[in-house]
Amino acid sequence: MNFMHLHILGICGTFMGGLAALAREAGHRVTGCDASVYPPMSDQLRALGIELIEGYGAEQLALAPDVFVIGNVVTRGNPLMEALLDAGAAYTSGPQWLAEHVLRGRHVLAVAGTHGKTSTTAMLAWVLEQAGLQPGFLVGGVPLNFGVSARLGRAGAGAPFVIEADEYDTALFDKRSKFVHYRPRTAVLNNLEHDHADIFPDLAAIETQFHHLVRTVPSSGRLVVNARDEALKRVLARGCWSEVQRFGTRREEPGGLCARGEPQAFDVLRGSLKLGRVEWPLLGEHNQMNALAAIGAAEHVGVAPEAACAALGSFQNVRRRLELRGSVAMAGGAVKVYDDFAHHPTAMRTTVDGLRRKVGHAERILAVFEPRSNTMKLGAMKAQLPWALEEADLSFCLQGDYGWSAAEALAPLGGSAVVEPSVETLVAAIVRAARPGDHLLCMSNGGFGGIHDKLLAALAAR
């Protein structure tokens, strides 16, 4: 292998940070920069010997790497981007570098979908690990079973590599979805809704990108497809050249994978034939569906469904998936604070529903969220927020500078919804409302201003 020096722009993002870790593990020299270099990603990268630079100063051109790897947060007008364009320096995108230097020759298992990508990718990697296949992986989170978001795994032709396959665009100079670079032999299509309203005008535009992914799967490959999803049915109707394994089917449908039982303990069936049983601590029907997808994908690389079910019994989920951050003891019952990555209305509703199934209706759920994703900031999903939160007893929202009124959007919830202009006032309102035995569910795809620790401290002080 020819070792190279990569300088990564936007290195603290989940995907680019994972790519940096893979490049470093492969023996390359890696440096990088970002607008804001902060933990935990900065700590992880420095521990790998990766030099980080704050900001995008043009002077970084003097590092003279073999290639600049450009994250999709970088836009024209970025000083370093302008300098490297003027200099005619070599540059590429993260997905393209990954495809050329890590994925080529391997059996790529790609997990795509609006929801559940990270969890399903982590489940699939763990199933393959337990089967002794030593997979490589790149996950948009930290699977607790592995403790890292990316690793190379076993090398060699046909060695498995599991990757979270994002439909977001690749880079400022490549507006294709990231996942078209990965050339999977096994592709999971988990579900499909309108998201990323900043780059996709409607659901049909995303369906087109998903069909581009379908076109890259060879005839000897496998598509593992959610049978309940109408948008995915439209995607496959445009053309399909690979074997299809459907999951979430009705029990009488031959060939499809389905579940019988509750999400925490269920049999896995193909048609009416029982293949195995999953017993685990995960909540929600969405995780049951994710499990079926992982089982169907793992089978394509030789892992029997019965073995996959057994492996899922020791799956520990991913950080920030209904992760209990702490609890404060009170007379009458502890108040628990959770962290969850949910940010799309469907994911928020699913998360609240999963927690509700666990705690029942005798205990209250206080949903706390910030509309932080680009789609939410644009207000494209604001009308769905009351539906997303209706299972919660109270809802608390951070009003950011995003041009629409959260109070108006949440008006259908009446007095059960509270909107505050800052994390500090939001914490104060939540602590005033909290009662012994409550569950405080914080949902955001960012750090949410450290609200989890602030809530725990304020509750303890009360």
Q: Which string of DSSP letters, residue by residue, matches 48-70?
A: TT-EEEES--GGGGGG--SEEEE
Alpha carbons 180 and 239: distance in angstroms, whole number: 16
From start to end of 165-314, where are the E strands?
169-171, 174-177, 186-189, 222-226, 243-247, 257-262, 265-270, 273-279
Q: Cβ(343)–Cβ(174) under 8 Å? A: no
What's the pLDDT at 142? 83
Q: Cβ(295)–Cβ(258) under 8 Å? A: no
Alpha carbons 303 and 297: distance in angstroms, whole number: 9
What's the pLDDT at 451? 93
DSSP state of 324: E
Residue range 198-224, pLDDT digits in tens: 677 788 999 999 999 999 999 999 999
5-94 CATH fold: Rossmann fold (3.40.50)
What's the pLDDT at 252? 66
Alpha carbons 140 and 119: distance in angstroms, whole number: 9
Residue range 238-281, pLDDT digits in tens: 999 999 999 998 776 789 999 999 999 999 999 889 999 999 98
Residue range 355-364, pLDDT digits in tens: 888 888 889 9
Q: Cβ(258)–Cβ(249) under 8 Å? A: yes
Helix axes 451-461, 423-433, angle to 10 degrees: 40
Q: Average pLDDT for residues 8-25, to the nearest whole number?
A: 94
What percentage of the chain has pLDDT greater than the value 90?
Answer: 71
Cross-strand pairs, 33 = 9, 53
Q: Cβ(247)–Cβ(224) under 8 Å? A: yes
- The residue that leads in pLDDT, 140 or 253, is 140
- The residue that leads in pLDDT, 159 or 320, is 159
* pTM across the whole model: 0.81
Q: Is the pLDDT of residue 50 over 90?
A: yes
- Every domain range in the chain assigned CATH 3.40.1190.10: 105-312
Q: Is the pLDDT of residue 195 over 90?
A: no
Question: Nearest 10 degrees: CA dihedral of 194, 170, 147, 439?
Answer: -30
Q: Average pLDDT for residues 60-82, to the nearest whole number?
A: 97
Residue in this structure with the two tokens 């202009």, named with its chain if needed:
421
For 105-312, the fitting CATH number among 3.40.50.300, 3.40.1190.10, 3.90.226.10, 2.60.15.10 is 3.40.1190.10
* Cβ neighbours, 10 Å, residue 230: 10
Instruction: Report residue 395's pLDDT band, with 50, 70 and 90 as the boundaries.
Output: very high
What's the pLDDT at 198? 67
Residue range 84-101, pLDDT digits in tens: 999 999 999 999 999 999
**DSSP three-state, residue 133:** coil
Token pair listed for 50: 């990766």
Q: Is the pLDDT of residue 462 over 90?
A: no
Q: Average pLDDT for residues 405-431, to the nearest whole number?
A: 93
Token pair listed for 232: 């995915």
323-461 CATH fold: Protein-Tyrosine Phosphatase; Chain A (3.90.190)
DSSP state of 315: -
What's the pLDDT at 1? 64
Q: Average pLDDT for residues 325-353, to the nearest whole number?
A: 88
